[in-house]
Amino acid sequence: MSRAISRLALAGLMLALPVSAQEASTSPTASARVPFGVGERLEYEVRFGKIRVGSGDMEVIALDTVRGHDVWHTEFHMSGGIPFFHVNDHYDSWLDTRTLASLRYWQDIDEGNYDPKRHYEIYPDRLEYIEHDKNGDRPPQASVAHPLDDGSFVYYLRTLPLRVGMDTTFSDYFMADRNPVRFKVLRRDTIEVPAGRFPSIVVQPIFRSKLFSEGGNAEIWLSDDASHIMLQMKSKLSFGSLNLYLKSYHPAPTTSSPLNREPPTPTQG
């Protein structure tokens, strides 16, 4: 169960994929306009049912370069677990500031006795990626023209106009053999999480995964504003439910659009 908790927490935070990659330009000639910046940080509670089992955070760490391309360097970290089994995972993504395509992706996983470290170099112009692990470089594998890894997906999503009723299948995941992915925008909602009360828009991911199956048992709440912050994720598993809740949001110093909160309900008296 613990490994499923880790995988699903990552999926909820990092695989909130773009609902319609085809409806937005994937090759702008200048830096993309984005609602995030260096220093933005989001913190989450991870609960199994009503029991808190861990915490996670997402952060835009820095502007960097990869093979001569200007990139955003982002990181997701999750720690926690259950008695006798703990996790401490890091996932880093480097995404092109023009296209938000992924050029590099690192996984540093520490889950009990399971501790792989995988580094991916992704080459959109060559339609391939190369995986490096403890055994060295593996042969190049097929990729796509606008590759998105688990981390860059959520940031790319935040730049798109979402509308209720969207139902899209697309093939932008950087591992070509794991496409296609389907996403639906279900409804609007207003929810309360530890960080506050927010208007939201609800997205349902459906893709080939043991965690997010064709049954579509997960829903993701994004802030219903230009920021598209992930506020909450709920998923029903065969052994219970796993939920994530936004605990705190620290915008980048350069961000001009703060997260919009719902005003508190007036007290009757």
Helix (H, G, I), strand (E, B) or coil at 126: helix
Q: Is 205 part of any domain?
A: yes
Q: Which residues of the chain have pLDDT under 70?
A: 1-30, 85, 110-112, 114-115, 207-216, 237-240, 255-259, 262-269
Query: Which residues, in sequence order, are CB contacts of 135 under 8 Å at separation 6+?
Result: none
Find out whether 222 and 162 touch, Cβ atoms under 8 Å.
yes
Find out whether 55 and 122 touch, Cβ atoms under 8 Å.
no
Helices marked H in the chain — which ranges? 2-14, 150-157
- The DSSP secondary-structure symbol of 21 reads G
Residue whose tokens read 């500031």? 97
Pairing relationship of beta strands 167-170 and 141-142 according to DSSP bridges: unpaired
- Residue 159, number of CB atoms within 10 A of its CB: 16
Handedness of CA 24, 26, 32, 38 (dihedral sign): positive
Residue 81 CA to residue 1 CA, distance in Å, equals 9
Domain that holds residue 85: 2-25+35-250
Residue 150 CA to residue 188 CA, distance in Å, equals 25
Give the C-alpha distances (Å, rounded to integers) separating 24 from 104, 219, 266: 22, 23, 40
Give the C-alpha distances (Å, rounded to integers) separating 200 from 76, 155, 261: 22, 17, 10
Q: Is 258 part of any domain?
A: no
- Residue 153, number of CB atoms within 10 A of its CB: 25
Query: What pLDDT sits at residue 27?
Result: 40
Helix (H, G, I), strand (E, B) or coil at 261: coil
Q: Is 92 part of any domain?
A: yes
Residue 258 CA to residue 236 CA, distance in Å, equals 31
Q: Is 257 part of any domain?
A: no
Both tokens of 7, joined, read 């995988």
Q: Is 268 part of any domain?
A: no
Residue 38 CA to residue 52 CA, distance in Å, equals 29
**2, 1, 79, 11: which is closest to 235 by C-alpha?**
11
Q: Is 225 part of any domain?
A: yes
Query: What pLDDT sits at residue 269?
Result: 39
Query: What pLDDT sits at residue 230?
Result: 92
Residue 154 CA to residue 192 CA, distance in Å, equals 21
Find out whether 107 and 149 touch, Cβ atoms under 8 Å.
no
Query: What pLDDT sits at residue 115?
Result: 67
Q: Is 260 part of any domain?
A: no
Total number of domains in the chain: 1
Find out whether 94 and 72 touch, Cβ atoms under 8 Å.
yes
Query: Which residues, in sequence order, are CB contacts of 24 under 8 Å at separation 6+?
Result: 18, 159, 160, 161
